[in-house]
Amino acid sequence: MSDVAEASSSGGETSQTGAASDQMWIVGIHMTKFGKRPDDDVVDLASEAALGALDDAGMTVKDVGVLAAGNLMYAAHGVGQMLQKQIGQTGIPVYNVVNACATGATALRTAIMSVRSGEADVGLAVGVEKIAGAGLLSGGSRASDSPTWEASGRFGAVASTDGRIGTEIMPGVFAQIGMEYGHRYGGADFELFARISEKNHANSVLNPLAAYSKAMSLEQIMGDVMIAYPNTRPMCSANCDGAAAAVVVNGTTLKKLSLEQQRRAVKVSASVLTTDPWEEACQILPNVNTLTKNAAETAYEAAGVGPQDLDLVELHDCFATAELVHYDNLGLCSEGGAVDFFESGAPFRDGSMPVNVSGGLESKGHPIAATGIANIWEVATHMRGEAGDRQIEGAKVGLAHVIGLGSACGVHILERAA
């Protein structure tokens, strides 16, 4: 791969597609139907996504030089190798990755870094999760109170603290994140958050792969079961089954592919991963803002584009309260201006900056490790002009964002090939 190194050091040469040798490209990508998939196990879902992405790329598993597999629930079992045992044991390196809700984005970035380093010409990233009906995915260490109080853990707790010292459940954590934004800047109330959810549910009607593709009225959303104020059930992302996969190559490999493959290739202009830098309160209530701001800034700089250049954004609306703060964090509006940005109509699908035209995690569903690649599939599909009824016409540049508590943030900027 000496030509790659040369291209990097000389600032990059270009091919007929405008591709520098060290430029990364998505040449195949696939998302499964999200929802309840009772007849499919985690390997079935991963296989469907991986084989779909390879088919889309016009490749087979024999072309793949590195596999990055993201999964949370079976993390200890090596889902990458489980997948290989079904679709092809070719002896290539496998990286099994876990990074909370940023797991899929981390898998993609791992494949990208491997190809960029010269370890492989073709990388495959898969994210898969099987959690339909899993209920609350955190909290509830409560059942384990012992018969005598005994201090344990880093806080010297004599009993479990979930529900006694705040809440550990995700709907509650993200509710506070939205409420804190409202406290700081004003204008954010229950109804506003519910209207964000109404927008995303309306978008989902055009997405046949969404777990729930049903519009909901504001009254329905606000009147549904309250989980953690101000998040009612439809304002929470749905636990479901699903997978997504992507095939990545560098510019050198792209040049060897057919003109049709080159035409459909989607440029990865930025692939960024951050964690949360220490700030006051960040270990009290997770700070999802600073690491997202940092990731977005780094990504815009790497891609040489700004938020004003984006034609669509898929951001991590794990809860309606989260979407609001990320308008601000991704620089889609001025600081503190997220409520006005929403009120202006900008993030609606006919607005100036469509956000979550897929329906978002609230309706599309959130199979955790699949989400970070599924968001990229959505943006890439618009870049290719293949999004059917929900196509954002003429989309050239898009951004996909995910955040996993703990925290990890992935931001990818994609651009149309030509």
Q: In whole angstroms, how close is the CB of 103 to other proteins at the nearest point?
A: 23
Q: Does 183 bind other proteins (CB under 8 A)?
A: yes
**Alpha carbon distance 127, 106 (integer Å):** 9
Pick from 142, 214, 256, 263 the residue near other proteins by CB under 8 A: 142
Q: Does 164 bind other proteins (CB under 8 A)?
A: yes
**Alpha carbon distance 88, 372 (integer Å):** 24
Q: In whole angstroms, how close is the CB of 190 to other proteins at the nearest point?
A: 7
Pick from 162, 297, 309, 340 the residue near other proteins by CB under 8 A: 162
Q: How far from 329 is each of 6, 200, 307, 338, 350, CA to CA, in Å? A: 36, 19, 11, 9, 22
Q: Does 302 bind other proteins (CB under 8 A)?
A: no
Residues 200-259 binding other proteins (CB under 8 A) are 225-231
Q: Residue 243: name the closest of 402, 35, 45, 29 by CA.
A: 45
Residues 6+ apart with CB under 8 A from 337: 185, 327, 328
Q: In whole angstroms, how close is the CB of 223 to other proteins at the nearest point?
A: 14
Pick from 10, 217, 283, 334 the residue near other proteins by CB under 8 A: 283
Q: In whole angstroms, how close is the CB of 192 to other proteins at the nearest point?
A: 13
Tell me the number of residues near other proteins by CB under 8 A.
49
Cβ proximity of 129 and 241 under 8 Å: yes
**Alpha carbon distance 218, 318 (integer Å):** 18
Q: In whole angstroms, how close is the CB of 256 to other proteins at the nearest point?
A: 47
Q: In whole angstroms, how close is the CB of 370 to other proteins at the nearest point?
A: 25
Q: Does 179 bind other proteins (CB under 8 A)?
A: yes
Written as one letter, the residue type at 323 is E
Which residues on adjacent β-strands are paired with residue 249? 25, 122
Written as one letter, the residue type at 100 is A
Q: Which residues bind other proteins (CB under 8 A)?
A: 136, 139-143, 146-149, 151, 154-159, 161-167, 169, 171-173, 175-177, 179-180, 182-183, 190, 225-231, 278, 280-281, 283-285
